[in-house]
Amino acid sequence: MRSIVLPVLQILSISLVVSSMAVAAEPADAKVGPNDWPWWRGPTRDGVARDSGAPVKWSATDNVAWKAAVPGRGHSSPTVVGSLVVMQTADETAKIQSVIAFDRKTGRKLWQTTINTGGFPDRIHRKNTHASPTVAADGSRLFAVSYHHQGIHVTGLNMSGKILWQKHVGPFRPDQYKNGYAASPIVHGRNLIVLAECDDSSYMVSLDRATGKQVWRTPRPARISYSSPTLGMVAGRQQILISGCDRVAAFNPETGKGLWEVSATTMATSGTMVWHKDLVFASGGFPKAETVCIKADGSGKVVWKNTQKCYEQSMIVHGGYVYAMTDPGIVFCWRATDGKVMWRERLRGPISSSPVIAGGNIYMSNELGTTFVFKASRQSTSSWAAIRSATRCSRLRQSAVVASTPGWPTSRPVSVARCSIASATRRPLRDVSRQARSTAPTDTRRIRRRSRSRCRREHALFVVENDPFANRVQWLVPGAGVQVDSMTAVAVERAEVVGRDIVAGRGQ
């Protein structure tokens, strides 16, 4: 999750992720399986699914395997590991933060563990929640990061929900920009890496996963930023990549020592960085808009940059091209090596979610519940179709995850937020936009006040919506496959006001 945005927090909305792919090389101590989605942006931490089983068509009623109520609110994306589906949630009235787990096959609630009571900040951004970071897993333990009592705290739990240790890693007392916290942790080797950045004090800390004991600590500039750190094999070595605080920087995950740093992007970023070979990409939007490509070999070379604002969204790289969406809903395809614009299309925003690539298709969703599916290609499509926005589904920000489930032949779990989704259709973008406008909520301000949603998706899709009145995580599986040669759309007929649920779907 995640990353908050300034002044608009990045609470990632729908981002499709696929977890039935081989996990990127992790030390033997990390025992996550090939079908797991163990942390933010998936096993390879880049939102790209190597599998081809992600759905391009789904329904809120067809192929539903299970549904389960989820209490509270939170923009934490589901973590799928072993037999569990895990996430953070928060009861904002009682001021309780907890971790909750469901059975992966049945949706039965297995346990809910309170990790903190009280100490909530007086104010956070209206798009944020008190349970925004995604839980990380190493196969035998779970790790939840939370913000309370003016500090950042980490809780280690076993797979049964028992608290193994808790650690206060440092203060978090934002002064001018009190938007809350949203950065997700990194699992690396035997350690857990946590980042906290605000205008009071900033730092990155590595903890021993078994005990919570501090391994190393690295100071960061006392500036605001909300981007989650990421870890990738870039330019021949493992690098922790961080954007924000008016710079792009890389660190050694073993020691926390800086590898290189370049003045670039802007003060506050929210999207997680991505990479391609020896190039890294970052974008920010406050107080200025800039997207930048930097050589990650320590030379400090800025290869290219532009003035596009991908503020709340993470970008994605596939086949040597960078796909990025701006806040207003314009999608760009840039050539990774020189930033040449291959094409641009307006999908109709606003967009707060991050994209996922599965089976060669890119999935993007806007805040009104419209999901766009199109081929990852350097050539733009002439016709576009989309999932029309629901009449009562607004502010989709969370990330859906995809994770195949053992025992379900060709299963493709999909999570979809509270929206009801109907059959796929194809229409030109202009027509789709008119239809979307005609089905948009009439009382937009009221809906925006009441609705806070989160979604993530992949090989199977998870979409979690956070709303005091309507919060549901659905785990659905694709029905009959639809060939995507341009863009496929699923029309959202309506969205029911229900309790927050988890819904699982069975593949065909």
Residue type, 195: L
Torsion (CA) 39, 40, 43, 44 in degrees, nearest 10: -150
- Please list, in sequence order, all residues whose beta carbon lies within 8 angstroms of the beta carbon of residue 6, skipping any fewer than 6 positions away: 177, 179, 224, 225, 226, 267, 268, 270, 286
The gap between the terminal CA atoms of the chain, to the nearest Å, is: 30
Over 90: is that where the pLDDT of 35 sits?
A: no
What span, in angstroms and rounded, lies between the C-alpha atoms of 163 and 152? Answer: 17
Local confidence band at 289 (pLDDT 50, 70, 90 cut-offs): confident
Structure tokens at 486: 């341009």
Helix (H) or strand (E) holding 403: none
Local confidence band at 159 (pLDDT 50, 70, 90 cut-offs): very high
Over 70: is that where the pLDDT of 394 sits?
A: no
At 128 the pLDDT is 87
Structure tokens at 156: 């280690």
Q: Which of 70-84, 146-160, 361-375 has the lowest mean pLDDT?
A: 361-375
Query: In the predicted model, what is the mean pLDDT of residues 406-421?
Result: 37
Q: Which of 354-358, 415-419, 499-503 has the lowest mean pLDDT?
A: 415-419
What span, in angstroms and rounded, lies between the C-alpha atoms of 348 and 369? Answer: 11
Local confidence band at 381 (pLDDT 50, 70, 90 cut-offs): low
Separation in Å, CA 287 to CA 9, 128, 281, 311, 435:
13, 19, 19, 10, 34
Local confidence band at 186 (pLDDT 50, 70, 90 cut-offs): very high
At 422 the pLDDT is 25
At 474 the pLDDT is 43
- Is omega for the bond preceding 7 within 30 degrees of 0, making it cis? yes
Separation in Å, CA 91 to CA 116, 123, 264, 315:
11, 15, 38, 31
Residue 335 burial by CB count (10 A; 0-12/13-18/19+): exposed, middle or buried? middle
Query: In the predicted model, what is the mean pLDDT of residues 469-490?
Result: 35
What span, in angstroms and rounded, lies between the C-alpha atoms of 460 and 475? Answer: 7
At 401 the pLDDT is 63
What span, in angstroms and rounded, lies between the C-alpha atoms of 284 and 267? Answer: 8
Q: Are 333 and 342 in contact (CB under 8 A)?
A: yes
Of the CA atoms within 13 Å of residue 165, those in its CB half-sphere come to 13
Q: Are 416 and 62 in contact (CB under 8 A)?
A: no
Q: Positive or negative CA dihedral for 210, 212, 215, 216?
A: positive
At 299 the pLDDT is 92
What span, in angstroms and rounded, lies between the C-alpha atoms of 69 and 145? Answer: 23
Which is higher by pLDDT, 501 or 238? 238
Which is higher by pLDDT, 479 or 263? 263
Query: In the predicted model, what is the mean pLDDT of residues 483-508?
Result: 35
Query: In the predicted model, what is the mean pLDDT of residues 394-414?
Result: 52
Over 80: is that where the pLDDT of 390 sits?
A: no
Over 50: is that where the pLDDT of 414 sits?
A: no
What span, in angstroms and rounded, lies between the C-alpha atoms of 94 and 407? Answer: 39
Query: In the predicted model, what is the mean pLDDT of residues 320-332?
Result: 89
Local confidence band at 406 (pLDDT 50, 70, 90 cut-offs): low
pLDDT over 90 for what percent of the chain?
41
Q: Positive or negative CA dihedral for 293, 284, 377, 461?
A: positive
Over 80: is that where the pLDDT of 459 sits?
A: no
Over 50: is that where the pLDDT of 427 sits?
A: no
Longest dimension (CA), the chain: 57
At 464 the pLDDT is 39
Determine how β-strand 274-276 pairs with β-strand 258-263: unpaired
DSSP type of residue 418: S
At 315 the pLDDT is 93
Structure tokens at 447: 């809906």
pLDDT over 70 for what percent of the chain?
65
What global pTM score does this model have? 0.76
Segment 37-61, tens digit of pLDDT: 899 988 899 988 766 666 676 666 7
Local confidence band at 313 (pLDDT 50, 70, 90 cut-offs): confident
Segment 80-94, tens digit of pLDDT: 899 999 999 999 999
At 49 the pLDDT is 75
Over 90: is that where the pLDDT of 436 sits?
A: no
What span, in angstroms and rounded, lies between the C-alpha atoms of 475 and 17? Answer: 13
Looking at every residue in the chain, the average pLDDT score rounds to 73
Residue type, 149: H
Phi and psi at residue 91, to the nearest 5°: -95, 105
Local confidence band at 63 (pLDDT 50, 70, 90 cut-offs): low
Query: In the predicted model, what is the mean pLDDT of residues 363-372?
Result: 76
Over 60: is that where the pLDDT of 7 sits?
A: no
Identify the three-state secondary structure at position 438.
helix
Residue type, 200: D
What span, in angstroms and rounded, lies between the C-alpha atoms of 134 and 77? Answer: 5
Segment 102-141, tens digit of pLDDT: 999 999 999 999 999 999 999 998 888 999 999 999 999 9
At 488 the pLDDT is 31
Residue type, 142: L
List domains and CATH numbers for the chain.
48-505 (2.130.10.10)
DSSP type of residue 412: -
> Order of strands, edge to edge, in the sheet holding 186-188?
186-188, 191-196, 202-208, 214-220
At 325 the pLDDT is 87
What span, in angstroms and rounded, lies between the C-alpha atoms of 329 and 389? Answer: 14
